[in-house]
Amino acid sequence: MPIQVLDTDTVNKIAAGEVIERPMAVVKELIENAIDAGANSIIIEIKDGGKSLIRITDNGSGIDEEDVKLAFAPHATSKIKQLQDLLYVSTLGFRGEALASIAAVSQLEMLTKTENAFNGSRYVIEGGIEKRHEEIGCPNGTTFIVKNLFYNTPARLKFLKTSQTEAGYISSIVEHMALSHPEIAFKFINQEQLRFYTSGNGSIKDVIYNIYGMDITSNILPLDTIKESCTINGFIGKPVISRGNRSYINYFINGRYIKSGVICRAIEEAFDPYMMQHRYPFTVLHLKVDPQFIDINVHPQKMEVRFINEKELCKDIYNAVLETLKHRELVPDIVLKKSNVNLRYLSNEEINRLFDKEDNNKNDNKPDSLRETAAYNAHDIKQGTLFEANIMSPQAQKDIKIIGQVFSTYWILQYDSSMFLIDQHAAHEKVLYERFMKQINNNEPATQMLAPPLVLSLSMLQQQAVEENIEIFEKLGYCIENFGGREYMITGIPAQLPSIATNELMLEIIDSIADNKVNISSETLLGRIATMSCKAAVKGRNDLPKEQAYELLKELMSLENPYNCPHGRPTMIKITQKELERKFKRIV
């Protein structure tokens, strides 16, 4: 489609007003143009965080000679013709503002050539004023050279961060572009040093390896499914590579990197039973959605979208991630280091750390992953796989030996050539949770009546949470009645969980519902309440008879996911015989 200026009606109705605020925005817009031009190789080079130089080279279709000047006119684009085209737009760019905005605040030079042209074109524009337009010999594709960004707008330049920080922003956007388009070869050069590159062979896993390295790539699970609202493919990380923030949650809609609270929440909800509180998963998910169900004309930077079928989409994403995590063996595998630990003096504190029993609030002061960085210089932890000794196999149920208990909390098991440590509290909590949810899913809730009942005084928000979800409370086995005004009376609770019969815990459950801004599904809400309700498990430092421990472990092993308690902590960890022999210098 040739470049043309949009009509006034279309210009007035698109989310226009693109402002180039930092070098990262320049890189993003030019890469998107290169992708839309069909490039399969894109080279990004910057200096001084992009402030002094940004060079983007692609091997795309190029720009025809007669369209070169027009490309820099406001609202000139080859992506759409009229307003109706926005409903079906499949390109990353479509507003026709980027080149005009960039040229207005920089000294810009463009070299471009189409495949059928004998020569290419060189176009120079500074501060929005044309300086030179000439014929030149150059390869097919387009090269943009942006120098001295914001040279004519010093106020905007003043608000930029350090060159290193700005380079970090650019690196992040290039990584997201590479993850969203594994079929394109990307090369990123900063200060004349190659920072990373991708081969463009179409493998998402290879791109993940180039960006995140071996540790993460070796702990990811493939996801490939077709749902009613979308098609999803990509990878999710095993819970062992969780992070303290959401920066590793990557998802793309029709090849576009976006930020969406509802999608992010759907992913986190699916990971909730497998991950500790305040920890977030790793994902690289590609979603293909019919363009008619998406509104991308929301924000000038095109990183926010609206979904017409938001509820269905979130439910499908939630189910896809959850189905991928189910039926996986996710036992943390402990690798004993050669230094800083003596197995004969493995303390209760160190074992607690392995089971992530520290205060969650302290996690923010630790390195990103206790499991990967050996934060306490005691252990490295890797995720077990189905190809190793499988403690869930039928044979294991016959051959497991209970050796004993340490610190009145952890049970030692032997199976095959590995030793397993089981946290009795986490294990019991998981068993109770699964019993409870099985009753709920079979519509067989058991209620224990309270005498006297609990009486709660609720705020307006809490009242709304109870009233809107009263059927779910009843499905769980609660009996709740309005006692007049803001007072509510709890006359019955789930029989499996008698220890939750306190005002504090009931208010905690109600508050968790009131704070849940995105209600993905009733199943998700059921899981949230049940997770918070699991307060009846045997605690640590309680001696259990060996017979009770055996029955507990037997029931634990019968579950779909016995590896994590409802709060995401591991129920078991593994140390191999080889690691023990290496520690005792039997092998090297």
**Is the pLDDT at 172 greater than 60, yes or no?**
yes
Taking the C-alpha atoms of residue 351 and residue 390, their distance in angstroms, rounded to an integer, is 22
Amino acid at 537: A
308 in the same domain as 340: no
pLDDT band at 341 (very low <50, low <70, confident <90, very high): very low
Residues 60-83 pLDDT 10s: 999 999 888 888 887 656 554 444
From 325, 355, 387, the end of a domain falls on: 325
CATH number, residue 464? 3.30.1370.100
Q: Do you find a cis peptide bond into 300, omega within 30 degrees of 0?
A: no
To which residue do tokens 């942006």 refer?
Answer: 146
Residue 222 belongs to a domain with what CATH number? 3.30.230.10
Rounded CA gap, 535 and 502, in Å?
11
Strand 294-295 to strand 283-288: parallel, antiparallel, or no bridges (unpaired)? Answer: unpaired
Look up residue 72 and give its DSSP letter. G
Handedness of CA 556, 558, 563, 568 (dihedral sign): negative
Q: Which of 182-186, 271-275, 419-423 has the lowest mean pLDDT?
A: 271-275
Instruction: Provide the CATH number for the domain around residue 571.
Output: 3.30.1540
Coil/strand/helix, residue 81 = coil
Angle between helices 261-271 and 310-325 (to 10 degrees): 30
Q: Is the pLDDT of residue 41 over 60?
A: yes
**Average pLDDT for residues 188-213, to the nearest whole number?**
92
Contacts of 385 (CB under 8 A, 6+ apart): 329
pLDDT score recorded for residue 444:
82
Residues 6+ apart with CB under 8 A from 59: 39, 40, 41, 139, 140, 141
Helix (H) or strand (E) holding 410: strand 410-415
pLDDT digits (tens, 9 = 90+) for 223-236: 999 999 999 999 99
Is 204 within a domain?
no
The one-letter amino acid at 134: E
The structure tokens listed for 539 are 């605690």
User: pLDDT at residue 215 above 70?
Assistant: yes
* Residue 522 structure tokens: 């009733």
CB neighbours of residue 185 within 10 Å: 18
pLDDT value, residue 181: 95
Instruction: Check whether residue 193 and residue 241 sit in a common domain.
Output: no
290-301 pLDDT, tens per residue? Answer: 888 887 655 555
| Domain annotation covers residue 432 | no
Q: Quote the CA–CA distance of 326 and 342 in Å, as a whole number.
A: 36
Around 535, how many Cα atoms within 13 Å sit in the side-chain half-sphere? 15
Mean pLDDT of the chain: 79
Query: Based on the domain organization, do 300 and 188 belong to the same domain?
Result: no
257 three-class SS: strand
Evaluated on CA atoms 420, 423, 426, 428, the torsion sign reads positive
Q: How many residues does the chain have?
A: 588
Which one is predicted more confidently, 110 or 372?
110
Does residue 438 lie within any of the structural domains?
A: no
Share of the chain above pLDDT 90, in %: 31
- One domain for residues 34 and 122: yes
- The pTM of the full predicted model, rounded to 2 decimals, is 0.65
- 325, 344, 359: which is the final residue of a domain? 325
- Asked if the structure places residue 337 within a domain, the reply is yes
Return the closest-CA partner of residue 549 out of 357, 420, 385: 420
- What is d(CA 219, CA 238) in angstroms, rounded to the nearest whole number? 6
Q: What is the pLDDT of residues 428-485, one digit of tens each?
A: 888 888 888 888 778 888 888 988 998 988 877 788 888 888 888 888 888 999 988 8
Is the same domain home to 112 and 234?
no
N-to-C CA span, the chain: 66
Residue 272 lies in a domain: yes
Whether residues 219 and 261 fall in one domain: yes
Cα dist from 117 to 136, 140, 418, 527, whole Å = 11, 9, 68, 62
In the listed set 169, 197, 225, which residue is the last one of a domain according to the structure? 197
Segment among 142-156, 240-254, 292-306 with least mean pLDDT: 292-306
Token digits for 240? 């062992």
- Min mean pLDDT across 7-11, 41-45, 251-255, 309-313 is at 7-11
pLDDT of residue 114: 95
Domain co-membership, 41 together with 150: yes
Mean pLDDT, residues 515-537 taken together: 63
CB atoms < 10 A from the CB of 538, how many? 17
Q: Answer yes or no: is 440 within a domain.
A: no
Least Cα distance to 266 among 312, 325, 204, 220 occurs for 312
pLDDT tens digits, residue range 182-197?
999 999 999 999 988 9
Task: Provide the pLDDT for residue 369.
Answer: 32
Alpha carbons 99 and 123: distance in angstroms, whole number: 12
- What are all long-range contacts of 200-205, with beta carbons under 8 Å and residues at least 24 apart? 200/40, 200/41, 204/179, 204/233, 204/234, 204/235, 204/284, 204/286, 205/235
Cα 279 to Cα 272: distance, rounded to the nearest angstrom:
9
At residue 276, the 3 state secondary structure works out as: coil
Contact 224, 232 (CB under 8 A): yes
Residue 378's pLDDT is 33
Per-residue pLDDT at 278: 78
Structural tokens at position 2? 């040739």
Full domain range(s) for residue 458:
447-495+498-533
pLDDT of residue 343: 43
Q: Supply the DSSP symbol for 412.
A: E
Domain count, the chain: 4
Higher pLDDT, 58 or 371: 58
More confident of the two residues 154 and 180: 180
pLDDT of residue 456: 87
**With 80 as the cut, is the pLDDT of residue 577 above it?**
yes
Q: Is residue 7's pLDDT more than 70?
A: no
Dihedrals phi, psi of 147, to nearest 5 degrees? -115, 150
333 pLDDT higher than 70: no
Helix (H, G, I), strand (E, B) or coil at 201: coil
Q: How far apart are CA 379 and CA 372, in angstroms?
A: 9
Please report whether residue 259 resides in a domain. yes
State CA 517 to chain mean position distance: 19
Q: In sequence order, what DSSP letters do the residues of 95-119 get, joined into one string?
A: SS-HHHHHHHTSEEEEEEE-TT-SS
**Same domain, yes or no, for 57 and 154?**
yes
What residue spans of 515-573 are helical by DSSP H?
522-533, 546-557
Is there a single domain that holds both residue 321 and residue 360?
Answer: no
pLDDT at 523: 63
pLDDT computed for residue 276 by the predictor: 76
d(CA 27, CA 157): 16
Distance from C-alpha of 501 to C-alpha of 536, rounded to nearest angstrom: 10
- Specify whether 360 is located in the same domain as 308: no
191 and 239, same structural domain? no
C-alpha to C-alpha distance for 510 and 469, rounded to whole angstroms: 10
Sequence-ordered list of residues with C-beta below 8 angstroms from that of 315, at least 6 positions apart, any chain: 229, 266, 520, 521
Of 287, 291, 298, residue with least CA distance to 87:
291
SS3 content of the chain, % helix, strand, coil (to 5): 35, 25, 35
Say if 435 falls within a structural domain. no
From 448, 422, 444, select the one nearest 533 (Cα to Cα).
Answer: 448
Q: Looking at the structure, tell me whether residues 55 and 115 fall in a common domain.
A: yes
Q: Which residues of 305-318 are buried (b: 16+ CB within 10 A; e: fewer)?
A: bebebbeebbbbbb
